[in-house]
Structure 1
Amino acid sequence: MKPAERALSNRKAFEVIQNQSNDSASRVNLFKVANRYYNMNLLNDYKETVNAVLKKSVESRDSISLSKAYDYLGDYYQKESFPDSAFLFYNKSEKIYSLKNDFVKLAQVRLNKASLQFSAGDYYGSEKNVFNALNSTKHIKNNDITYDSYNLLGVLYNEQGDYDKALEFHEKAVTSIDDNYIPVEFQSKATSLNNIGVVYLNKQDYLNAEKSFKEGLRQRLVNKQKPIVYAMLLDNLGYAKFKMKDTSGLPKLFYKSLKIRDSLQLTAGIIASKLHLSEYYIANNDKVKGLQYLKEVLATAKKSGNARNVLVALKQLSVLEPQKASVYSKSYIRINDSLQKAERKMGDKFTRIEYETDQVINENQALSMQNRTLFYVFSILCLIGLFFYSYKSQQIKHRELIFRQQQQVANEDIYNLMIQQQNQIEGIRINEKKRVAQELHDGVLSRMFGLRMSLDSINQINDDDASKKRTVYLDELKNIEQDIREISHDLSKEKSELINNFVTILDKLLEDQKRNFETCLTVAIDRAIKWENIENAKKINIYRIIQEALQNSNKYAKAQKIDIVLKKQKNTLVLTIIDDGIGFNIRQSKKGIGLQNIQYRIKECNGKFEINSDTNGTVITIIFPIKPNKHNLKNYDV
């Protein structure tokens, strides 16, 4: 069956199951549909199906299906490269598996969390979750999880430079392989032999590395069942030979590996192969070819957002091209700092997710205990009498209502409060406009219409001069009547939308500026900007930047005129603020708190800015991307 036919068949199955009654069989079948979508790499359909079964699980209070749905959503976000969201859902799933004592699934979800933490550079958190996974299954024979745990620990310790410990766990991984639990076609042994060889490479024990890679290549059908592992073994074997100055099979091994990785579109693998080819050709005095591969690595790494490989390429380029060494070094330092900050931020986020999830569980348990206590009190009061029952019942309802109100208030943020306030103001304005419109229409227009009818009847007198004058008056009255009608209609018309109230809030800031300062303020805002599609944090930062710029102009610039232009250009918002004040020295003012605040907010929005200032005035131009990037690190300029 063709992929399109399989997808259509799966969609029909989903629609049939979705309309069935919400029982355990229908939820199991929905998971089967989700699995098919995942295997077809139709991730949006996969997510839709998982959300459907999640909703059914909540409605039926099926905690087993609920934990499985959370687990599936974690897989979705991991596949889509949203590690924080994946970690959140894995964490939710883990809590339910723990309560249900489902140790196998508990261990697997902890391994998933550990993999996310390892990829984000949170090695301590990753190590902790791997050992938690092993503890979950210490009384259960499950070599699948045991192998994955030992393998991840070996990779983790290798990354930290603890090579002896890395070898210890990789050897344990090989020992734990059992064909009854891990299918042979997974090529687990070949994978571990490759990992062991990599550790020996890092230890500069190239002879043992070569032996390990060769043994991995001797594994039956590894080239067909696991071409990814096969390509790694070829490339690493070539590199071990190169380090031992053994030229047999070189550079053929590198090119063979690169061809496989190209065919599979393995970006990280392609980068690794080209790095080895670059090093090989440079060592063989072919600097031109080596430099060519190195620049290809840099371009590919930038495009894929692989910051670590960008750093490797920059480091080697600074040696090969000393005339550009300072430029490469600056880029290296900038990217390395950004990478460390991103890793720390992601590690903190993982910790915060675990803490907040535990906190919610504790609060739910406390609330559950409180509800049980209230129920017991309620039951006792029922026995005492109807009066006390009624009184206590009302008291409990009132207490619950206050609790819900306090919880709702606590969850509101500053921006939503501003929106709510502006909605109230706008509602009052609309009601007032309607009232004025009604007064104009029912009062003034009626009287003027009567006056026009009277003049029209008088106009029957056959006096030419009088008739001409009356005609002029009548025409004028008709014009006035039309003007008032148009005003009435305009006042009655409500705005179709408030653009998420952001423009209205911004208008109030600008009105305050005009009212409180003599400076001539000119504003041009592109009203076609879809503010509802722009995140609140970015809108608040734009508001604060304009507020800060106006304050600086009022306080220091002595400006007579300020121009503010906010418009959309392709996938960006461009904010330009111009004043004709006395200007300032940009270099001396960089340490000022006002300019630092603006720079910080622009950085928060991933924006770019430019300031030009002289005695004729100041021009600030800021560009914000409308759509946030998936990755924090990409598009590095050298």
Structure 2
Amino acid sequence: MPILFIFLAKGFLMGYKFSFFFFIFFILVNCTNHEIKLNSQRQTPDSLSSFLEIANNDSVPSDKRKIFNDKALAIVSNQSNDAANRENYFKVAGRYYNIKLWDEYRDITSRIIQNSKSAKDTASLAKAYSYMFDYYVKVNQPDSVYQYNYKAEKLYIILGDNENLVQTLLTKAVLQHNYSDFLGCERTAIQMLRLLKKYNNIQMEYEANNLLGIVYGKLQEYDLSKKYYDKAIELANNESVPPNYQYRAVTINNLGSMYSIQKKYGLAKEQFLKGLAEKDLLRDRPDLFAMLNDNLAYTYLKLGNLKGLPDLFEKALKIREGSKLISGIIISKIHLSEYYALQKDSLNAVAMVGEAYRLADENKLTRDLLAVLRQLSDVDPKNARKYSSEYYKISDSLDVAERKTKNKFARIEFETDELAQEKTQLVEQRKTLIYIALGIILIGVFIFVIRVQASKNRELRLIQEQQKANEEIYSLMISQQDKVEETRQAEKKRIAQELHDGVLGKLFGTRMNLGVLNTRKDDEGIVQRVGYIDELKTLEQEIREISHDLNSEKMAVFNNFVLMVSNFIDTQRTVCQADILFNVDPAIEWNAVENTAKINLYRILQEAFQNINKHAKAQHVTVTFQKKDRHIQLEVEDDGVGFVYSKKRNGIGLQNMLSRITTSGGTMEIITRPEDGTKLQFELPLT
């Protein structure tokens, strides 16, 4: 991640003649975390894992890696927002990062932030903030780097994730150092060390001590600076530190630079030589190897030992040019300019620093430009006034920019903390509202329970009243049955008397006369027999009439419910303005109908006529009982004003009728519309 490294490391002590070095291990780890290990298992060609695997393969051209990563993104975008989905988004973002598609990386990271907030996934949100921090490092926006790093810091504090918290603190400390907030950098680095006491991380502890060594050197606290450098070197010797990181060489270089600032060039030379003696330094860290050579050459220059110069400067410059380390190239050319100036070679001295000026100006390396202008003032006296004027102008603007940046950092912390405080207040307010809402709900539930209980009591009273009414109807039916039975017995007695006194006497007399006439053969006897036969026919007719009366009496016995309904209809004819037509299907077997069902039918009829009398304004009403298969159907139809069923369906009357018919296992159907009458149909099964 060279650009990220340059952003964080450039400008350290450019105002001095020696270069300090940060080895920002955690950032390199951050970069490595974007790399996902390849899955050795075979995958289907169209699977998400296959797309991600190809997109992460360094041997595949970048344009093809993008195509497969786009396919992976299309799949991930259609997944639900769960933990696995967010992890897949991180993989997709990491692959865009690895092929340097910064805008796509930013867009996916923004999506992860939104999804993490939606899912209230604090760990993923903190990780997404750190990903966004990487983006702003790439586009060189330090205030946004600081902002997202600080947001991640706050979340890691909440999560108790000290390991990631320490990494965010290191980023914060480096940013504070880069913008000359040395006291803030000191506080942050010490905070890191306190946290590192809670868990063992030698590399991060090394970073904190190395950083404190640099900061105390800037603050001219040289004893403290050496103390922390010595501690950093001790930590770098730990076997857990990979030797290719060259931690020892980094801190040895920084310690030598501190001695150089104090003009202790002999001690500085010892440190630079010691650093260059580190094993495999050129292979592992050519940039650091070049820095040590350049610092050593400059020390020789200050000691007046020009043997080996300018070759040592040229050696460092060649390595830096090969690695395109612009800031390092500028330093090398400034040092060569000083060497040539000391040699009275003003032409090369001006040429070298002129090249350095061009590079610093083209790459907008402001701090390096200050060092270049100072050297130009020394080697080009004719234009010294112009260079000095430009120097102070840039220096002042840089100071202002640094102050603004430091203030912006402070404002970011303040605003972030303020937002967090507001969020906490909102959470507390929300809790208060929840408690109030719960209280209202409890009161509402209490009122609801009271009302439900009152409703149940009212319903119980209605049931009791209905039961009482049903008993009254049942008593009425029994009374009606008694009346029918009384009528039946009276009719039986009348028919018995009729048979005994009338028909039987006539039959006996006719039989006796026919018996006498059977002995006579004359014409008169024949005529008399004919007369008696006619009399028998008359008796036959009388018997038929008596039989008809018996049949009518039998129907009366079974149709006492119908009689009760007929009486009700007759009553309604006296109070209802409409003409009422009443029809009963004689095929109905009323004995097969339970008394409860009869009562419900009677009550339904009462309710129907109550609605007709109150609302219908009907001219004609038809009431029909008919048998349909194994069902009895009651139909009440009127030609009144009708109504909109959807508006009246929950009316008490309709609900009562529905309740009664369903209680008996039946159904209700309503056919109506405004100004077109109403038809009520009720069906209940025969037992």
- TM-score band by shorter chain is 0.5 to 0.7
* Cα deviation 1:400-438 (Å, max 9, x = unaligned): xxxxxxxxxxxxxxxxxxxxxxxxxxxxxxxxxxxxxxx
Code of the aligned partner of 2:410: T
Distance 2:168 2:387 in 1: 41
- 2:421 is matched with which residue? 362
Query: Is residue 111 from structure 1 mapped to residue 170 from structure 2 by the alignment?
Result: yes
Code of the aligned partner of 2:418: Q
- 2:395 is matched with which residue? 336
Pairing of 1:88-99 with structure 2 (within 5 A): 88-99=147-158
SS at match of 2:185: helix
Distance 1:13 1:66 in 2: 21
Query: Is residue 240 from structure 1 mapped to residue 299 from structure 2 by the alignment?
Result: yes
CA separation of 1:12/1:229 partners in 2, compared to 1, >3 Å: closer, same or farther? Answer: farther
- 1:507 is matched with which residue? none
Query: Is residue 138 from structure 1 mapped to residue 197 from structure 2 by the alignment?
Result: yes
Q: Report how far residue 388 of structure 1 moved.
A: 9.4
Distance 2:156 2:237 in 1: 26
Q: Which among 75, 82, 100 is matched to residue 141 of structure 2?
A: 82
Q: Which among 321, 324, 347 is matched to residue 380 of structure 2?
A: 321
- 2:100 is matched with which residue? 41
Pairing of 1:86-485 with structure 2 (within 5 A): 86-177=145-236, 181-385=240-444
Q: Report how far residue 180 of structure 1 moved.
A: 5.5
Distance 1:40 1:255 in 2: 34
CA separation of 1:140/1:366 partners in 2, compared to 1, >3 Å: closer, same or farther? Answer: same
1:381, 1:388 within 8 Å by CA — same for their partners in 2? no
Q: Report how far residue 207 of structure 1 moved.
A: 1.7
Code of the aligned partner of 2:366: A
Distance 1:386 1:20 in 2: 40
Distance 1:253 1:264 in 2: 17
Q: Report how far residue 55 of structure 1 moved.
A: 2.5
SS at match of 1:145: helix
Q: Report how far residue 318 of structure 1 moved.
A: 2.1
Distance 1:197 1:380 in 2: 71
Code of the aligned partner of 1:328: Y
- 1:456 is matched with which residue? none
Q: Report how far residue 358 of structure 1 moved.
A: 0.7
Structure 1: gaps spanning 5 or more residues: 390-638
- 290-299 or 100-109, which moves further after superposition? 290-299
- 1:22 is matched with which residue? 81
* Cα deviation 1:358-402 (Å, max 9, x = unaligned): 11111111111111112112222233347999xxxxxxxxxxxxx
CA separation of 1:260/1:388 partners in 2, compared to 1, >3 Å: closer, same or farther? Answer: farther
Distance 1:379 1:13 in 2: 46
Distance 2:194 2:384 in 1: 50
1:314, 1:329 within 8 Å by CA — same for their partners in 2? yes
1:197, 1:209 within 8 Å by CA — same for their partners in 2? yes
Q: % of aligned pairs identical?
A: 38
Distance 2:420 2:119 in 1: 20
Distance 2:237 2:146 in 1: 30
1:143, 1:178 within 8 Å by CA — same for their partners in 2? no
1:382, 1:388 within 8 Å by CA — same for their partners in 2? no
1:154, 1:169 within 8 Å by CA — same for their partners in 2? yes
Pairing of 1:500-515 with structure 2 (within 5 A): none
* Cα deviation 1:18-70 (Å, max 9, x = unaligned): 33332222322332333343344332232233223222212221110000100
Distance 1:2 1:250 in 2: 46
Q: Report how far residue 72 of structure 1 moved.
A: 1.3
Q: Report how far residue 137 of structure 1 moved.
A: 1.9
- 1:12 is matched with which residue? 71
Distance 2:137 2:447 in 1: 55
Give 1 or 2 for the bigger CA radius of gyration: 2
SS at match of 1:182: coil
* Cα deviation 1:71-123 (Å, max 9, x = unaligned): 11112212321010111111111111001110111111011111112112222
Distance 2:337 2:104 in 1: 42
Q: Which among 100, 106, 109 is matched to residue 50 of structure 1?
A: 109
Distance 2:325 2:257 in 1: 19
2:376, 2:384 within 8 Å by CA — same for their partners in 1? yes
Distance 2:323 2:353 in 1: 21
Code of the aligned partner of 1:227: P
- 2:602 is matched with which residue? none
Code of the aligned partner of 1:266: L
- 2:5 is matched with which residue? none
Distance 2:230 2:259 in 1: 13
Code of the aligned partner of 2:87: V
SS at match of 2:307: coil
Distance 1:62 1:180 in 2: 37
Code of the aligned partner of 2:164: K
SS at match of 2:236: coil
Code of the aligned partner of 1:270: I
2:334, 2:375 within 8 Å by CA — same for their partners in 1? no
CA separation of 1:164/1:14 partners in 2, compared to 1, >3 Å: closer, same or farther? Answer: farther
Query: Is residue 65 from structure 1 mapped to residue 132 from structure 2 by the alignment?
Result: no
1:197, 1:208 within 8 Å by CA — same for their partners in 2? yes
Distance 1:57 1:72 in 2: 13
Distance 2:447 2:384 in 1: 84
Q: Report how far residue 125 of structure 1 moved.
A: 1.8
Q: Please, what TM-score do these two structures have when normalized by structure 1?
A: 0.58
- 25-34 or 90-99, which moves further after superposition? 25-34
* Cα deviation 1:134-160 (Å, max 9, x = unaligned): 222222111121111111112222233
- 242-251 or 5-14, which moves further after superposition? 5-14
Q: Report how far residue 198 of structure 1 moved.
A: 1.0
Distance 1:189 1:44 in 2: 37
Distance 2:93 2:250 in 1: 29
Pairing of 1:577-616 with structure 2 (within 5 A): none
SS at match of 1:176: helix
1:142, 1:181 within 8 Å by CA — same for their partners in 2? no
Cα RMSD (Å) of the superposition? 2.0
Distance 2:242 2:307 in 1: 34
Distance 1:9 1:182 in 2: 37
Corresponding pairs, count: 389
Q: Report how far residue 171 of structure 1 moved.
A: 1.4
SS at match of 1:55: helix
Q: Report how far residue 164 of structure 1 moved.
A: 2.5
Code of the aligned partner of 2:133: G
